[in-house]
Structure 1
């Protein structure tokens, strides 16, 4: 052992000396001689997939490494589908669903039952769906699943739990101007999508106050039907045996009407400079925003490579220029965002000292514009594609991640092999493709610039960039101080 250690130290010392004295006797350093093997083909084992007569889709993925089972019951319909005068409904629904429990097992009692077997059942909500999830030891699956199914089929929403969730949400609203970055994100979404757009609107105290138990029950009745439910199970089970259990458990749920994605009109935001004053900070949060695209867009892969070249880590253009070379930002990044069934957000964000706000914004705009004029170098293109492909596999490196993604693809109606197409799509991207999509989609003149900062410290003022619109970030209905 001592000899081995001594040999290692000797090699390390020699390596250090060679490096300090100007190089190696060979033309290339040893680490540059390492050949990176090609990536293996990405063909994840597809989960067992079936559709019941009532429309419920089921995905089953066996994984016997550990004696656990994880399950999801995901239901189409989320915050984007709630009425404008009931904003916050789906969030309160998702929170009070689990805490309320069922007619036979109140939430507090369910807590105790699950704690005894180290299991969990949770409910929640998102933009396009709600869910019931479970996690347990294999031996406790039958009882845990029975409780989760009872929660799905027979919730009994309690006024005390609704009130508790409402108070928590209202506290969040009353404190939503505490953090500058939170203000910037909220205002950027509103400006990019529109304040009445389902993807840009903001929950208010008044809309939360209008939500009653009847609203929760009506939402549940509307969405929890067979054609809206997608079930996924992954873990230590026999797929054929579990399929039989699930068929029996779900067969009595009525098919109902499938909830379609809302029909939403999107238009470019009015470009301009928008400023929200926050007097208790000494730095600015900057967002440049516009509409992005959908993942179904054939140009999605070229745009992904463009994003990586522009802002993918420390070696990217905007980081190297704005942060490293010019020293104008603590952090900077962004992307031409893509969502599943609506335009994502084209957003570039930065945090900088107040006095550098204008200079940082100008530098970012310059880098955005150069996406259209500067074709990626071979080194930039290779780095971007390698980074995307090498990181992609870690997003889906276990069965649970793959199953969760398959459920998401099913929610939005994407093909089951969408993940497998990713590698080939990225590998085919050329420098010319990047330049083509940059010129097609990147339009700096259409970006809205949102700044949250201290007006007394902005020198030069934002007006140097153009006319400034002051944003009203007051909270309607908040108590007067």
Structure 2
């Protein structure tokens, strides 16, 4: 039989088989003389999709990075991730902007910039840039309120060449004067523009109301405080903070954890210990309640901030507060958005809740943007929503939606090994249990309406709130004095002392 004949025979046989199968499928069953029953219920006995039971979510078990503590006190977290041929690392070092002296506010801005751009004793920052760019690698430094950071990223094949550069920056920064001068100019330029944006003004000044203008979490750099910073200040800060017993290192990427541990021990295990960085001793006081106003006559909208002190994440009420925040002002289905933005049309943007920080009180912050002509109406609407939250209680349905929203977004917040590693490092840094991720989900699931009603009354006090409005008063729909005494805030930028003296 030829090849063509074999194919034709096969196709004929296939067609016959399909015809027989279709005939059997479509053939009617013999009639029993009784109407045939049709069932819409499933194996669970449900007659509607709404009755189908939803199985409980699986337990959340994120990956566990390997934790290693070197003899010199350096704590290392290692997380293998073989998806891409990359290796990323970050040092987190105790000490940040909250720890700089008030007369040199801005020190961390300069330090974190020049630590990298100033290069090392053997190479300028520009030379380091050229070498790293040839390998498509990067090394960066930056700062936060309580930490400074040194991070890097490189291809797996270049890791052994990039790591010595990281050690060199860590041990031998040069803080070249020309880079210090350039960084100071950049900070001074930022100071000169800090009153351009209405929302940035509202954010900055409301934080100063909540914490106090002299609180380290609220201080702002001025021309004179930046001018007072010297190279010696940067060198002293580096010696004070950069020691292995003040640092945590996290590394993630395409490596074998045992091999990586040996490399890091060889590279960083010989760093000498330093004095442990002292714990922060910052006091916090409730803000003075009332109406505060900042005039900005070149805008047609108002930024409104309502603030008070928040809580710490260690607070046993943290999970209930999280659920309260979500249903009150956390998303598009929240009360603030649904009522003030969608129904009343008073807000460009609105949201907020009781903030929580790791080792100090966060800020209770409710933010809103509205057109100038609806400023007073917007404050009325916010006051009503706050009163309803405290006195009106919450519904079971609201709690259910809020918890679902938090738990669904929670999974996506930690959908990569790098994100989970960063969170584990934070728990280590602040002294939280390493299973805090798992505790978070369990804590949210347990929150009840009674819990939310209780924390609303406990942490939201309408009579203690400070209300800040930034905008153009002549376009307001009502005088702010109808809400009580109005305290103006002066945000003029102080001129440098030298410039002031020269003008005399």
Q: Partner of 2:75 in structure 1?
A: 57
In structure 2, do the counterparts of structure 1 residues 211 and 36 end up closer, same or farther at CA, with 3 Å as the change threshold? farther
Matched position secondary structure for 1:449: strand
1:298 matches 2:320: no
- Report the Cα offset of residue 127 of structure 1: 0.7
Structure-2 separation of matches of 1:39 and 1:133: 36
Alpha-carbon shift at residue 253 of structure 1 (Å): 1.6
Work out which of the residue numbers 310, 315, 334 in structure 1 matches 2:333: 315
Tell me how far 1:31 sits from its aligned partner: 8.1
Deviation at 1:364, TM superposition (A): 0.6
Instruction: Flag the structure with larger Rg.
Output: 2
Q: 2:158 is matched with which residue?
A: 140
* CA-to-aligned-CA distance 1:436-455 (integer Å, 9 cap, x gap): 11111110111100110012
Change in Cα spacing, 1:29 to 1:472, as seen in structure 2 (3 Å) is farther
| Residue number among 456, 464, 468 corresponding to 2:486 in the alignment | 468
The one of 437, 447, 453 equivalent to 2:471 is: 453
- Indicate how the Cα distance of structure 1 residues 159 and 33 shifts in structure 2: closer, same or farther if over 3 A, else same: farther
Matching residue of 2:256? 238
1:48 matched to 2:66: yes
Counterpart among 168, 171, 177 of residue 189 in structure 2: 171
Please tell me whether residue 362 in structure 1 is matched to residue 380 in structure 2: yes
User: What is the match of residue 8 of structure 1?
Assistant: none
* Equivalent residue for 2:276, pick from 258, 267, 286: 258
Root mean square deviation of aligned Cα? 1.8
> Which residue is 1:215 aligned to?
233
Q: What is the rounded CA distance, in whole Å, between the counterparts of 2:453 and 2:47 in structure 1?
A: 34
Q: Check the 8 A contact 2:377/2:477 in 1, yes or no.
A: no
Size of the alignment, in residue pairs?
A: 455
Match in the other structure for 1:375: 393
Against the structure 1 CA distance between its residues 455 and 389, is the aligned structure 2 distance closer, same or farther, given a 3 Å change threshold? same
Q: Deviations over 1:224-273 (max 9, x none)?
A: 01211111100011111111111121122222122133111111000011
The match for 1:225 among 221, 238, 243 is 243
What's the CA shift for 1:366? 1.3
Corresponding residue for 1:336? 354
- Aligned partners of 1:474 and 1:214: how far apart in 2? 31
Matched, 1:203 2:243: no
Q: Provide the rounded CA distance (Å) in 2 between the counterparts of 1:218 and 1:443.
A: 44
SS in 2 for 1:360: helix
Distance 1:36 1:331, change over 3 A: farther
Q: 1:239 to 1:456 in 2, by over 3 A?
A: same
TM-score normalized by structure 1? 0.92
Aligned pairs (5 A) from 1:92-103: 92-103=110-121
TM-score of the two chains, using structure 2 as the length reference: 0.88
Of 386, 398, 403, 2:421 maps to 403
Where 1:276 maps in the other structure, the secondary structure is strand
1:438 maps to 2:456? yes
Change (3 A) 1:29 1:327: farther
Separation in 1, partners of 2:159, 2:196: 43
Can you list the C-alpha shifts for 1:321-369, whole angstroms capped at 9, x where unaligned? 1111222111110110000000000000101111211111111111112
Shift of 1:38: 3.3
**Per-residue displacement from partner, 1:415-439 (whole Å, max 9, x unpaired)?**
1111110110000000000001111
Which whole-Å CA distance do the structure 1 matches of 2:300 and 2:411 have between them? 40
For residues 190 and 309 of structure 2, what CA distance do their matches in structure 1 show? 27
Counterparts in 2 of 1:342-357, with a 5 A limit?
342-357=360-375
- Tell me the equivalent position of 2:286: 268
Task: Provide runs of 4+ in structure 1 moved above 3 Å.
Answer: 28-38, 478-481
Alpha-carbon distance between aligned partners in 2 of 1:114 and 1:437, rounded to the nearest angstrom: 51
Moved more, 295-304 or 36-45: 36-45
Q: How do 1:24-43 residues align onto structure 2 when only pairs under 5 Å count?
A: 37-43=55-61
Q: SS of the residue aligned with 1:267?
A: coil
CA distance in 2: counterparts of 1:35 and 1:72, whole angstroms? 45
Q: Structure 1 residues 37 and 167, CA, compared in 2 at 3 Å: closer, same or farther?
A: farther
- State the alpha-carbon separation in 1 of the partners of residues 340 and 400 from structure 2: 22
Q: Distance in 2 between matches of 1:438 and 1:131?
A: 37
Segments of 5+ residues of structure 2 without an aligned counterpart are 1-39, 41-45
> What residue ranges of structure 1 are gaps of 5+ in the alignment?
1-25
